Structure 1
Amino acid sequence: MSKLEKLIEQFLKDPPEVRFDDVQYLLESFGFEEKRSKGSHHSFRNSVGLKITVPKKGGKMVKGVYVQQIIKLLNLENWNNENAD
């Protein structure tokens, strides 16, 4: 199982918090780039214009509510390894 698959599995378990580094890795794996960072808020955007702003709690963690937004944005419930680039 790849790192990406493990992260997706972790996100789908509805954790209360995840590491910001994991969020960043997941978003970048799906073609998002960090476009802007202001304080604790980091904005990511992909080539078709989808965007999400993710705040870091305490500088390292991301709250579960943002994990849920990422799951919906990336449609992770329906993702499988064949969709990976």
Structure 2
Amino acid sequence: MGRREKLLARIRNNPKGVRFEDLTKLLEWYGFELKRVKGSHHAYTRGCHNLIVPKRKPHLHSYVVKDALKILDELLEDEEDG
């Protein structure tokens, strides 16, 4: 299991304790690009998937993390199928 998989597993196990830096690192590993920053809101995109990640310390809101995991699951499922 590589670093990418370990980080994904850690985020899945505790979506309430995820730091902004960890989630953005994971998104970038899976091909998301930072399109714009407006205030504390960072907009990431990959294809038709868009995700706004508000920078918050010490941890992100769990709904942001769950949305990101949902998008990543869709992408991983598409990669397995195609």
- TM-score exceeds 0.5: yes
Q: Does the residue aligned with 1:61 lie in a helix, a strand or coil?
A: coil
Structure 1: gaps (5+ residues): none
Task: Give the % identical residues.
Answer: 38
| RMSD over aligned Cα atoms | 2.4
After superposing on structure 2, the runs of 4+ consecutive aligned residues of structure 1 that deviate more than 4 Å are: none
The answer as to 2:59 corresponding to 1:70 is: no
What displacement does 1:61 show?
3.0
Instruction: Name stretches of at least 5 consecutive residues in structure 2 with no aligned partner.
Output: none
Correspondence list, 1:5-16, <5 A:
5-16=5-16
TM-score by length of 1: 0.77
Task: Give yes or no for contact 1:14–1:68 (8 Å, CA) kept in 2.
Answer: no
* Higher helix fraction (1 or 2): 2
**SS in structure 1 at match of 2:51:** strand
1:52 deviation in Å? 0.4
2:18 is aligned with what amino acid? V
The normalised TM-score by structure 2 is 0.80
